[in-house]
Amino acid sequence: MLGKKIVAMLLAGGQGSRLGELTKSMAKPAVPFGGKYRIIDFPLSNCVNSGIDTVGVLTQYEPLALNAYLGSGQAWDLDRMNGGVFVLPPYVSQQSGEWYSGTANAIYQNLPFIEQYDPDYVLILSGDHIYKMDYSKMLEIHVAKGADATIAVLNVPIEEAHRFGIMNTDDSGRIIEFEEKPTEPKSTKASMGIYIFNREVLTRYLVDDTRSVSSEHDFGKNVIPAMINGGQKVYAWEFTGYWRDVGTIASLWEANMDLLGVTPPFDLNEKEWRIYSRSPVMPPHYMGSDAEVENSLITEGCVVHGCVRRSVLFAGVTVEPGAVIEDSVIMPHTVIRAGAVIKKAIIGENVLIGEGALVGCEKLPEDEPYDTKLTGDITLVANSMEIAGGARVPAGKVIRFDPENRAE
């Protein structure tokens, strides 16, 4: 097999428990985003646009949706003779066999996959971030600096720095200290969970890490600090574009809203950095004679007779006459019946919202109490659920999956 300069390993294992009902039957990277994408389309498209044609996708949680979605990789131009995209679940071998016990362990277990391509460099990515990044530029700097490892960092506001892994660097950009969620941050350079390693250094540290019983086998917590302490040359590479961790309901909603407007915070319309995705094979969307729309994204297969404001509609959504959708994200193939009103909500796939139902309406004193820890004021309806006609779903409530009320 011909050697590769660089191989990407995409950590897609995350259950994404803070996304609650959305990740009940699929891994976080398979969650729909931005009208026709899934989260994983972003790192995958970044790879292809950066000239990386070999990507391993490491997953162990609900891999079916992800596996079916990736298929042969054709949608991302990753159906290659030499290389391409591979889903890498944990496996049992003669000596051992175990689940991935951490991000570093997942890569360790797949070192044979990497070795097949004999790459000089390994790029480690997360499958739950929304951003556009040219990894080839990061690699250029990595090579120019003669680094052993390079970590992409983002400048975050100092008051938020305590939520991130913070890199303290010297003047040359070399990382001298790494602090995971420091109470008193010394810098605002937050790790984005994107690493380039020299393969030989990575292999050595992963083997050592596996032997260590005290290690949690995590890149941020164990491997990176070990490299810094071991005197390896670890550099920070600063990224200045849009980047969002869409690990929570609020951040997922916000990132969708960031796509709207004349000059949106995150612009998908750049022709030179297309985001690829699996095409839904549906006709263009149809706007009825009485349809109203304002600042929204609407995808192929939608039929809109009602009113859509500041919202993102995924493929095949139907909005019947008189229905009103505001500040919401409606995932594929969901049907909104006549007169229903949806405000500030995320509605899952294949949901049926009955006639005149009110989703995200004001909470009344007689409403049963419910937990809004995960949702805040955003209402969430799980995939495949049916909301009965005329029903009220107050703001911030979660309608969990329940086979009794499945939409036909």
CB closer to another protein, 45 vs 109:
45
| The CA-based dihedral angle spanning residues 212, 235, 237, 252, taken in that order and rounded to the nearest 10 degrees | 20
Among candidate residues 345, 340, 343, the one with its CA nearest the CA of residue 387: 340
The stretch among 107-115, 128-136, 287-295, 378-386 that binds another protein (CB under 8 A) is 287-295
The stretch among 149-157, 200-208, 248-256, 280-288 that binds another protein (CB under 8 A) is 280-288
CB atoms within 10 A of CB 64: 11
| Site membership for another protein, residue 265 (CB under 8 A) | no
Q: Which of 289, 369, 403, 408 binds another protein (CB under 8 A)?
A: 289
CB closer to another protein, 88 vs 302:
302
Q: Shortest gap between Cβ of 87 and another protein (angstroms)? A: 21
| Site membership for another protein, residue 34 (CB under 8 A) | yes
Span between the terminal Cα atoms of the chain, in Å? 49
Phi then psi for 198, rounded to 5 degrees? -70, 130
The whole-angstrom separation of Cα 127 and Cα 49 is 16
Q: Which of 81, 144, 213, 281 binds another protein (CB under 8 A)?
A: 281
| Site membership for another protein, residue 241 (CB under 8 A) | no
| Residues 266-277 as b or e (16 or more Cβ within 10 Å = b) | bebeeeeeebbb
Q: Shortest gap between Cβ of 224 and another protein (angstroms)? A: 35
Among candidate residues 365, 366, 368, 372, the one with its CA nearest the CA of residue 395: 372
Q: Write out the two tokens for 346.
A: 């995320």
The whole-angstrom separation of Cα 187 and Cα 177 is 10
Which element (helix H / strand E) includes 288?
none
**CA neighbours closer than 13 Å in the CB half-sphere of residue 159:** 0
Residue 331 backbone class (left: φ over 0; alpha: ψ -120 to 50; beta: rest):
beta
Q: Shortest gap between Cβ of 293 and another protein (angstroms)? A: 5
Q: Shortest gap between Cβ of 47 and another protein (angstroms)? A: 15
| Site membership for another protein, residue 130 (CB under 8 A) | no
Q: Which of 115, 140, 170, 290 binds another protein (CB under 8 A)?
A: 290
Q: Shortest gap between Cβ of 407 and another protein (angstroms)? A: 17
Q: Shortest gap between Cβ of 348 and another protein (angstroms)? A: 18
Which element (helix H / strand E) includes 8?
strand 6-11
Secondary structure (DSSP) of 329-371: EE-TT-EE-TT-EEESEEE-TT-EE-TT-EEEEPPPTTSPP--
Q: Shortest gap between Cβ of 261 and another protein (angstroms)? A: 7
Binding mask 301-320 for another protein (x = CB under 8 A): -----------xx-------
CB closer to another protein, 86 vs 276:
276
Q: Which of 111, 293, 338, 361 binds another protein (CB under 8 A)?
A: 293
Q: Which of 65, 282, 338, 374 binds another protein (CB under 8 A)?
A: 282
What is the residue whose two structure tokens read 């990575």? 202
Site for another protein in 318-337 (CB under 8 A): none
Q: Which of 286, 367, 390, 400 binds another protein (CB under 8 A)?
A: 286
Binding mask 64-93 for another protein (x = CB under 8 A): ----------xx------------------
| Site membership for another protein, residue 285 (CB under 8 A) | yes
The whole-angstrom separation of Cα 288 and Cα 304 is 6
Contacting positions for another protein (CB under 8 A): 34-36, 74-75, 259-262, 268-269, 274-277, 279, 281-300, 312-313
